[in-house]
């Protein structure tokens, strides 16, 4: 006899676990199924984000940044550290402990909200009684029945054609987060968010890092001036970036990996490295989900077809997060999870896709929300822009981190903020003000007239807003 639920969520990444909690808060009887296993085979809810994504990468970015600060920047503050040592094993263990705290936190939240958690693989068995039967293959095999199903099965790393991840020499994000010793040489294929973050971690710890990118330049989706500044700073830091590269062969040897490629001019080249991270994007994960059993529709990329409200082609089957269209970001998955739970409960869930922020946690950090100047030019929308450098910000000087700037882009006529682009210290935190402003459809003058604490990095945000009207006070 199938255990009955109002809502069964498949996947406990940021999309799924948040959807489950919100649905339970709204009084629905909820189950959440997730198959991620920790090192001892036990459950590890939190998905890619918690286990091999956002959380462990940020833990290592922080540890490696601390190391770099101690090695190269503490002396500027008059601090000597004697002989600097690196205990990589301890650094990786700390990262694992941070992951576990997050796994445990989700287990606690499920208990608190009375979400029934099933550890195992969930798949559609059949449509039944106006709902669906979901089979769980795990320690115990169970069948659940659901009125509504939310699919939140996430994504997996894309491999180079014919080059499988062995997580020893050829690494996905998973292996890249647990290299047992700092490699002398490290190759990275792909200069997207993951490639830049992982490349930065291992460069700071001492690896000679070369990044090969197929596209003609860095961060094509970011503001042009931000991308230009980022390239300048990353190159100065020692990341070797090559663009317009076409890879022909990747060979794993006992000593390392050899990558044969044509450079931007078409000349044949090879890269010999100890290890290679392949970060060329991610693919929606639907393997083993039993989509064919119920006729759930996928698109040509393998993503579940879902509309703006996350409705699939099947009644009462919803899909959210990385497994559907849109940016593969944890907070986008969470927003969709909350909105779907609210729609199921008869409320008007809403996600504003125009105000989903992007963040790259390199040093300097990069963050933006809304449209770039290039996008506005292409759309023929008149705009005005204002920019303010951290070099002229007192807090940034005190921090010793004056790289970068804040840029506002606003409608030429109404002054409504259309985009905010930041490269610099704590851009990940500063972007929130822009997200709030855009969510309330604020003008740049609104931000310019709001009191910002002194001395704070947020004053650079206000000054950039003032710059839209060419009236900065500190430049
Ligand atoms: C290295 C790295 C760093 C990242 N950093 C950031 C960042 O800083 N900020 C950010 O916003 N995003 C970041 N991301 C992206 C972010 O991790 C994803 O966008 C996010 O995890 C998507 O959430 P999700 O809930 O859709 O899926 P996932 O987190 O992938 O979770 C899906 C879960 O479903 C499980 N599952 C799949 N199929 C089944 C099944 N049939 N039965 C049971 N369980 C199943 C999976 O095992 C997994 O646990 C990063 C990604 C990587 C790889």
* Nearest protein Cα to ligand 1, atom 8: 54
* pLDDT for 1 beyond 90: no
**DSSP structural state of residue 278:** E
Q: Residue 352 — very low, low, confident or very high, per pLDDT cuts 50/70/90?
A: very high
Q: Residue 121 CA: which ligand 1 atom is closest?
A: 42
403 lines ligand 1 (CB under 6 A): no
285 lines ligand 1 (CB under 6 A): yes
* pLDDT for 150 beyond 90: yes
Q: Report how far residue 135's alpha carbon sits from residue 145's, in angstroms, rounded to the nearest whole number.
A: 9
Q: Residue 344 — very low, low, confident or very high, per pLDDT cuts 50/70/90?
A: very high
Give the Å distance between the CA of 334 and the centre of ligand 1. Answer: 11
* Residue 471: predicted pLDDT: 97
| Rg of the chain over all Cα atoms, to the nearest angstrom | 24
Q: Residue 327 CA: which ligand 1 atom is closest?
A: 19
Give the Å distance between the CA of 132 and the centre of ligand 1. Answer: 24
* Residue 351: predicted pLDDT: 97
> Which tokens go with 161?
């054609």
User: Mean pLDDT over residues 460-466, rounded?
Assistant: 98
Q: Quick one: what percent of the chain has pLDDT higher than 90?
A: 98
* Residue 67: predicted pLDDT: 98
* Nearest protein Cα to ligand 1, atom 26: 321
Q: Residue 331 CA: which ligand 1 atom is closest?
A: 11
Top mutation candidate among 106, 154, 428 for ligand 1, by most atoms within 8 Å of CB: 154
* Residue 376: predicted pLDDT: 98
337 lines ligand 1 (CB under 6 A): no
User: Mean pLDDT over residues 123-145, rounded?
Assistant: 94
Q: Residue 289 CA: which ligand 1 atom is closest?
A: 41
* pLDDT for 248 beyond 90: yes
User: Mean pLDDT over residues 355-377, rounded?
Assistant: 98
Q: Report how far residue 387's alpha carbon sits from residue 444's, in angstroms, rounded to the nearest whole number.
A: 12
Q: Residue 198 CA: which ligand 1 atom is closest?
A: 1
Q: What is the pLDDT of residues 381-428, one digit of tens each?
A: 999 999 999 999 999 999 999 999 999 999 999 999 999 999 999 999
Give the Å distance between the CA of 279 and the centre of ligand 1. Answer: 15
* Residue 140: predicted pLDDT: 81
> Which tokens go with 311?
């409705």
User: Mean pLDDT over residues 123-127, rounded?
Assistant: 97
* Residue 417: predicted pLDDT: 98
Give the Å distance between the CA of 13 and the centre of ligand 1. Answer: 5
User: Mean pLDDT over residues 234-259, rounded?
Assistant: 96
User: Mean pLDDT over residues 256-266, rounded?
Assistant: 97
* Residue 424: predicted pLDDT: 98
* pLDDT for 367 beyond 90: yes
16 lines ligand 1 (CB under 6 A): yes
Top mutation candidate among 9, 12, 13, 21 for ligand 1, by most atoms within 8 Å of CB: 13
Q: What is the pLDDT of residues 227-241, one digit of tens each?
A: 999 999 999 999 999
* pLDDT for 300 beyond 90: yes
For the residues of 235-277, what is the DSSP string, one character each?
Answer: HHHT-EEE-S-EEEEEEE-SS-EEEEEE-TTS-EEEEEESEEE
Q: What is the pLDDT of residues 59-90, one digit of tens each?
A: 999 999 999 999 999 999 999 999 999 999 99
Least Cα distance to 6 among 332, 333, 320, 318 occurs for: 318
Q: Residue 322 CA: which ligand 1 atom is closest?
A: 26
Q: Residue 379 — very low, low, confident or very high, per pLDDT cuts 50/70/90?
A: very high
Instruction: Please enumerate in sequence order all residues whose Cβ is within 8 A of that of 4, keeping only pairs 6 or more positions apart, or say none.
Output: 29, 144, 145, 146
459 lines ligand 1 (CB under 6 A): no
Q: Report how far residue 462's alpha carbon sits from residue 473's, in angstroms, rounded to the nearest whole number.
A: 10
47 lines ligand 1 (CB under 6 A): yes
Q: Residue 254 — very low, low, confident or very high, per pLDDT cuts 50/70/90?
A: confident
Top mutation candidate among 22, 41, 47 for ligand 1, by most atoms within 8 Å of CB: 47
319 lines ligand 1 (CB under 6 A): no
Give the Å distance between the CA of 3 and the centre of ligand 1. Answer: 27
Q: Residue 129 — very low, low, confident or very high, per pLDDT cuts 50/70/90?
A: confident
DSSP-H helix ranges across 113-222: 173-176, 193-204
Q: Quick one: what percent of the chain has pLDDT higher than 70?
A: 100
Q: Residue 468 — very low, low, confident or very high, per pLDDT cuts 50/70/90?
A: very high
Instruction: Please enumerate in sequence order all residues whose Cβ is within 8 A of that of 272, keeping only pairs 6 or more positions apart, or say none.
Output: 185, 256, 257, 258, 259
190 lines ligand 1 (CB under 6 A): no
Give the Å distance between the CA of 330 and the centre of ligand 1. Answer: 7
* pLDDT for 172 beyond 90: yes
* pLDDT for 299 beyond 90: yes
Give the Å distance between the CA of 10 and the centre of ligand 1. Answer: 12
* Nearest protein Cα to ligand 1, atom 2: 53
289 lines ligand 1 (CB under 6 A): yes
419 lines ligand 1 (CB under 6 A): no
For residue 73, indicate whether it is catalytic: no
365 lines ligand 1 (CB under 6 A): no
321 lines ligand 1 (CB under 6 A): yes
Q: For tokens 């990468």, what's the residue?
A: 57
* Residue 139: predicted pLDDT: 80
Tell me the pLDDT of the chain averaged across its residues. 97
> Which tokens go with 179?
């290299």
* Residue 452: predicted pLDDT: 98
* Residue 247: predicted pLDDT: 97
User: Mean pLDDT over residues 113-141, rounded?
Assistant: 95
35 lines ligand 1 (CB under 6 A): yes
């Amino acid at each position: 006899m199938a255990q009955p639920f109002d809502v069964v969520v498949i996947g406990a990444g940021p999309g799924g676990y948040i959807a489950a909690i919100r649905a339970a808060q709204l009084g629905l009887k909820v189950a959440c199924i997730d198959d991620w296993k920790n090192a001892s085979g036990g459950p590890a809810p939190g998905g890619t984000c918690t286990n091999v994504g956002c959380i462990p990468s940020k833990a290592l970015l922080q540890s490696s940044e601390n190391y770099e600060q101690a090695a190269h920047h503490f002396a500027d503050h008059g601090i000597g550290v004697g002989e600097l040592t690196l205990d990589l094993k301890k650094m990786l263990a700390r990262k694992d402990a941070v992951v576990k705290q997050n796994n445990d936190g989700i287990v606690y939240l499920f208990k608190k909200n009375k979400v029934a958690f099933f550890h195992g693989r969930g798949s559609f068995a059949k449509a039944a009684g106006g709902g669906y039967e979901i089979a769980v293959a795990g320690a115990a095999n169970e069948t659940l029945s659901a009125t509504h199903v939310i699919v939140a099965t996430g994504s997996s790393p894309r491999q180079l054609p014919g080059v499988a991840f062995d997580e020893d020499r050829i690494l996905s994000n998973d292996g890249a987060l647990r290299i047992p010793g700092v490699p002398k040489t490290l190759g990275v294929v792909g200069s997207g968010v993951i490639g830049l973050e992982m490349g930065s971690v291992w460069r700071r710890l001492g690896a000679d890092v070369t990044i090969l990118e197929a596209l003609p330049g860095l961060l094509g989706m970011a503001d042009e001036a931000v991308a230009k500044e980022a390239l300048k700073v990353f190159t100065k830091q020692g990341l070797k970036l090559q663009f317009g590269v076409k890879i022909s062969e990747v060979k794993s040897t006992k000593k390392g990996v050899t990558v044969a490629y044509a450079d931007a001019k078409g000349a044949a080249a090879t890269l010999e490295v100890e290890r290679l991270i392949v970060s060329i994007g991610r693919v929606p994960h639907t393997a083993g989900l039993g989509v064919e059993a119920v006729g759930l529709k996928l698109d040509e990329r393998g993503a579940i077809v879902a509309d703006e409200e996350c409705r699939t082609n099947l009644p009462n089957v919803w899909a959210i997060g990385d497994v559907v269209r849109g940016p593969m970001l944890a907070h986008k998955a969470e927003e969709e999870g909350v909105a779907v739970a609210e729609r199921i409960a008869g409320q008007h869930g809403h996600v504003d896709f125009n105000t989903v922020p992007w963040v790259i946690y390199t040093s300097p950090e990069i963050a933006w929300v809304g449209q770039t100047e290039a996008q506005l030019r292409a759309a023929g929308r008149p705009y005005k822009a204002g920019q303010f450098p951290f070099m002229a910000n007192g807090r940034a000087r005190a921090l010793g981190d004056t790289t970068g700037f804040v840029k506002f882009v606003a409608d030429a006529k109404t002054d409504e903020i259309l985009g905010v682009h930041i490269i610099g210290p704590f851009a990940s935190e500063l972007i929130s003000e822009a997200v709030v402003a855009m969510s309330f459809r604020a003008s740049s003058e609104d931000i310019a007239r709001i009191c910002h604490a002194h001395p704070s990095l947020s004053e650079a945000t206000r000054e950039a807003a003032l710059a839209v009207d060419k009236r900065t006070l500190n430049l």
